[in-house]
Structure 1
């Protein structure tokens, strides 16, 4: 579908009867809404064998700037609650009113993003009205940050993994040509990543799937004393929220799933469709640039296609001969890294000026600006260190979704992806190859996430989102029995607190009152 066009929303009848019941009670329960008061919680609903975990109380300590930090325990394997345990790091900002309705648990996405760090951004990530009535709580999921982080490769090997050149540079061949030698290099690099996970993470790598993280989040809910969960998840955080709702539908108060992922896709389809969304975002950036003076892609009389062709030509040139790198980080400014730099800048319109400058430099032979943007995307903060984001991202994705085991399946998918997305198709599709070598017994069986019986769940999609295409929001809202779709017409990844008062008001009202907007609402109004 054309990602710049809002499709007619599908009819979803699940939440309407519940909204009618909420309307009848609106005068009696203004802030808590149909959800009612959310405290106190308890462990009476603990699944079998898990009462000790659900009975935990977090020992909070002051960690500066009004925040409190602590930890709680979860079993490594929920099938063996008496076995090894993991400590999960958690941070909260107490409600400004001093009289909270409950906790708002937040997740920034990834997978691999730190909820612990995201909670520290509460003043900019959550509105003042919501912060006034909720404790804002973020945790590092298992395998991430401060919660038994998984690290699969040394920094130099991670550079090779992220920057592997999937296009041939043999002799005078066109760098867009994929050869048997190029495929063999891809296979070796991805096998080495999985071998590194086995060596460094051991049993942990088999228990990093999102269903486990959702169970951890329910333990957190109980430890916070909340009877039901109020949640804001962005990007991958929408997948986590959908898992939670499906596992614990009766414990849902209000879930905002912003920048939604489609649970039905395997890892190859995920990469192909993300490439299509990124191509749509690149076209939006290019059209915007061409209307500005001094656009490096051309002038107002030039076409979007000609501007994108210029980017593609630069990337092809870098595939033959690396551009200059002004950073002391040992990277070669070849196509793979430069492509990641362009991709990074499409996550937010606020990065577009940096992208314009970086592209102008790249056309002059200097890849430094694009390398900086690529480093932002993968948390490569210095030449000697990576945050564990990339290891966690790959490990969780490969644990969550099925993947073809034959390399030919990826070769075929790349051909289709390149037709839809000449710039990003091959790179994002080959990025799924790691999962072909992930331990089969660590991969979840695909199941629908429909959360029957859950309270209304708000799914938010942006029409020209590069990372999570708008069609994914439509799909997730349609899959959830009580899904409610809110659409933002615009660019960039995610919608809440991105400058659209229509979206912000709808999300805040839902969080505060458990009262969603009408299904199919489009913002701006």
Structure 2
């Protein structure tokens, strides 16, 4: 079975005793910190960028009255700071109380907008954080309003992404040709930008932003891929790390091939948990008495959609395996979404209607189902960033071995992940250096949060990242879903809020039970 192109290159795809405060910080009597002015050293040749004046203005088209916007100039190529520059688009949600500093945020992706998080700060963060911090959301380079990567017009991109390919040599050749067409279109449209959208470049941009906003240390909250960006920042600038939380960690010490394997296993485990819930619920459309039997039935439904695509409410769009898989995966990110997956599967299996699965697929790739237009460039940016960070370098033998273990350990999702990274194999650019592992020697304590039932960034990645970091502190939530803060309850939330607000460091190894 052949994956849809939308799946290619899409990895990454978000209380115990407290002992001390972050070392090296000047704290007031209430534990807060006076941000003062930036005194961190400026990399040679970048003085103009680090010392630029920032002017905040009212945000255009923002529905938040408490926000301001600006643009911060950075070099396109940090090896040529006198050359071309780009603008990083930033949105600040002002603290509802007296701000003790700026909290930079990234929601993941790669390709997701940090500006959207800041604009919806009251949804993402608890009162103690939004009262005490200006929330700084930015679109990383290549994303959204920051020199966005573009590949092809929406109508052309949509047609290619919706295509299905038979499990034949001809189907493989057709898929490869379409992949090459997208890659060449990205090159033709975005040009030299594609060489400079790495996580390393984005982390360097964050240090420019930190200094330009007058912060001596960078306080940062990263979810999912945002943990990768935060970890990379800490590796490059350990002395500039203030209070940092990385929730839903990506492991920077493993290869792209291993990442795809562990992510597939994570989704398989989450699917098993969902199927057990579905069977116990008593109104489950999946046939079988056990989770394994029900998953085998589902596998048959997905495979059948290749020859018999499911019609949808959109006349010219139907559900084939790639869309089926992505629709399922989208709902596995949060346990609260499981009832919606049951409804989607009921529509598909019992009524032959793939409309809800199509909507979930489009939610994942940032597409408006009714109009067919893409709401942002998150998918194209994800391709570009992943392929520059993780160039495909696995040989045929390694790919074959990975495919074998995928079918053994993740039988449902194996067809979605097998075959190696075909998309990035066609990508023409590679970085001089790639992320990871992250040590951040000498940094302040960095809080790493892992969720035992996380499908997208499996728990083992958080354990690994916390061990790699010189001063990593691991928090564990024994729940289901992607990322813990805001979902896990007071055990995790209080630890994070207290750390950011007054610098108290939670107990390393703190484990919080499922709700």
Give your verdict on TM over 0.5. yes
Alignment pair present for 1:401 and 2:400: no
Deviation at residue 283 of structure 1 after TM alignment = 0.7
1:37 pairs with one of 31, 34, 38:
34
Partners of 1:341 and 1:359 lie apart in 2 by: 10
Q: Secondary structure at the match of 2:311?
A: coil
Conserved in 2, the CA contact under 8 Å of 1:262 and 1:475? yes
Correspondences of 1:273-312 after superposition (within 5 Å): 273-298=262-287, 302-312=289-299
Runs of 4+ in 1 over 6 A off after TM superposition: 23-28
> Number of paired residues?
490
The 3 A distance-change label for structure 1 pair 371 and 280 is: same
Deviations 1:471-520 (A, max 9, x none): 11011111111111000011110000114110000111111123321111
Alignment pair present for 1:62 and 2:58: yes
Alignment pair present for 1:47 and 2:36: no
Conserved in 2, the CA contact under 8 Å of 1:256 and 1:459? yes
Deviation at residue 524 of structure 1 after TM alignment = 2.8
Match of 2:92 in 1: 92
Partners of 1:234 and 1:22 lie apart in 2 by: 21
Which shifted more, 235-244 or 264-273?
A: 264-273
1:215 pairs with one of 191, 204, 215:
204
Correspondences of 1:392-471 after superposition (within 5 Å): 392-404=381-393, 406=395, 409-430=398-419, 432-442=421-431, 444-445=433-434, 447-471=436-460
Match of 1:360 in 2: 346
Alignment pair present for 1:511 and 2:497: no
Match of 1:174 in 2: none
Partners of 1:21 and 1:349 lie apart in 2 by: 34
Alignment pair present for 1:263 and 2:252: yes
> Structure 2: 5+ residue runs without aligned partners?
1-17
Deviation at residue 432 of structure 1 after TM alignment = 2.3
Deviations 1:234-286 (A, max 9, x none): 00000000000000000011110000000022222211211110001111111
Conserved in 1, the CA contact under 8 Å of 2:107 and 2:222? yes
Deviation at residue 431 of structure 1 after TM alignment = 7.0
Deviation at residue 181 of structure 1 after TM alignment = 2.6
Alignment pair present for 1:317 and 2:304: yes
Partners of 2:20 and 2:135 lie apart in 1 by: 29
Match of 1:497 in 2: 486
Which shifted more, 515-524 or 234-243?
A: 515-524
Q: Secondary structure at the match of 1:461?
A: strand
Deviation at residue 136 of structure 1 after TM alignment = 0.7
Partners of 2:372 and 2:493 lie apart in 1 by: 39
Partners of 1:414 and 1:162 lie apart in 2 by: 23
Partners of 2:228 and 2:187 lie apart in 1 by: 25
Q: Secondary structure at the match of 1:95?
A: coil
Q: Secondary structure at the match of 2:48?
A: helix
Conserved in 1, the CA contact under 8 Å of 2:22 and 2:505? no
Correspondences of 1:324-363 after superposition (within 5 Å): 324-328=311-315, 330-363=316-349
Deviation at residue 397 of structure 1 after TM alignment = 0.7
Conserved in 1, the CA contact under 8 Å of 2:232 and 2:435? no
Conserved in 2, the CA contact under 8 Å of 1:58 and 1:223? yes
Conserved in 1, the CA contact under 8 Å of 2:305 and 2:321? yes
TM-score for the superposition, normalised by structure 2: 0.90
Conserved in 1, the CA contact under 8 Å of 2:151 and 2:190? yes
Deviation at residue 411 of structure 1 after TM alignment = 4.6
The 3 A distance-change label for structure 1 pair 470 and 20 is: same
Partners of 1:397 and 1:207 lie apart in 2 by: 12
The 3 A distance-change label for structure 1 pair 481 and 166 is: farther
Conserved in 1, the CA contact under 8 Å of 2:22 and 2:445? no
Deviation at residue 25 of structure 1 after TM alignment = 10
> Structure 1: 5+ residue runs without aligned partners?
1-17, 169-178
Partners of 1:59 and 1:410 lie apart in 2 by: 50
Deviations 1:1-38 (A, max 9, x none): xxxxxxxxxxxxxxxxx955769999964323xxx432
TM-score for the superposition, normalised by structure 1: 0.88
Q: Secondary structure at the match of 1:442?
A: coil
